[in-house]
């Protein structure tokens, strides 16, 4: 009897293991001075390639009020959030007194202010530098400008 149940038990354990395995990707959705942006980018490139999405490097820090505003704006605007989630993987890159990630950021154009977006292809190739100040309207952001930016740089 036990020998008949063993194959069933074994296949059940294998199924559970298959569905519980992590693919190794962790979304980088917080500005963290302790993170290694080189390792984060490699993981993000792997995920973006798999999902056929572009990458947005979101450069800023917890000290930055506009960084908090842009995050809240995205969360509150379903159309922007959906367009972003469907077409991009966002990776936050810390810029602060604790760690300005100078070496990592030196491979991209100079940033005038924060937050700042760099758009990369799914393979990590630099495509565009976006001053988020250009997307602002009053003390928030322009939905039309934000949508135009996201639509312009999404995968065709």
Res 41: pLDDT: 98
Q: Is 113 inside any structural domain?
A: yes
Q: Is 1 inside any structural domain?
A: no
Q: Is 11 inside any structural domain?
A: no
| Residues ≥6 apart with Cβ < 8 Å to 147 | 79, 80, 83
State the number of CA atoms in the 13 A half-sphere of 67 facing the CB: 21
How do 140-141 and 88-94 pair as beta strands?
unpaired
Q: What is the CATH number of the domain that holds 137?
A: 3.40.30.10
Place of tokens 């930016």: 149
Q: Are 114 and 64 in contact (CB under 8 A)?
A: yes
Q: Are 89 and 53 in contact (CB under 8 A)?
A: yes
Q: Is 39 inside any structural domain?
A: yes
Q: Which of the 8 DSSP states describes residue 156?
A: -
Q: Is 3 inside any structural domain?
A: no
| Residues ≥6 apart with Cβ < 8 Å to 133 | 112, 113
The boundaries of the domain holding residue 128 are: 26-153
Q: Is 10 inside any structural domain?
A: no
Q: Is 135 inside any structural domain?
A: yes
Region of 109 (left: φ > 0; alpha: ψ -120 to 50; beta: rest) is beta
**What is the pTM assigned to this prediction?**
0.84
Q: Is 133 inside any structural domain?
A: yes
The series of mean pLDDT values per 10 residues for the chain, 156 residues long, is 51 45 78 97 97 98 96 97 98 97 97 96 98 95 98 95
Res 23: pLDDT: 58
Res 4: pLDDT: 58
Res 6: pLDDT: 47
Res 24: pLDDT: 75
Taking every pair of C-alpha atoms in the chain, what is the biggest distance, in angstroms?
74
Res 16: pLDDT: 47
Number of structural domains found in the chain: 1
């Amino acid at each position: 009897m036990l020998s008949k149940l063993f194959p069933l038990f074994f296949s059940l354990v294998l199924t559970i293991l298959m569905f519980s395995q992590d693919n190794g990707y962790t979304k980088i959705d917080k500005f963290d001075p302790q993170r290694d942006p080189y390792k984060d980018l490699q993981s993000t490139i792997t995920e973006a390639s798999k999902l056929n999405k572009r990458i947005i490097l979101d450069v800023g820090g917890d000290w930055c009020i506009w960084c908090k505003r842009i995050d809240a704006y995205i969360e509150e605007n379903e159309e922007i959030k959906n367009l972003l989630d469907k077409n991009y993987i966002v990776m936050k890159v810390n810029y602060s007194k604790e760690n300005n990630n100078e070496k990592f950021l030196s491979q991209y154009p100079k940033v005038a202010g924060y937050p700042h977006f760099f758009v990369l292809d799914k393979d990590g190739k630099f495509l565009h530098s976006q001053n988020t100040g250009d997307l602002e309207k009053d003390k928030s952001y322009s939905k039309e400008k934000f949508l135009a930016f996201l639509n312009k740089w999404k995968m065709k």
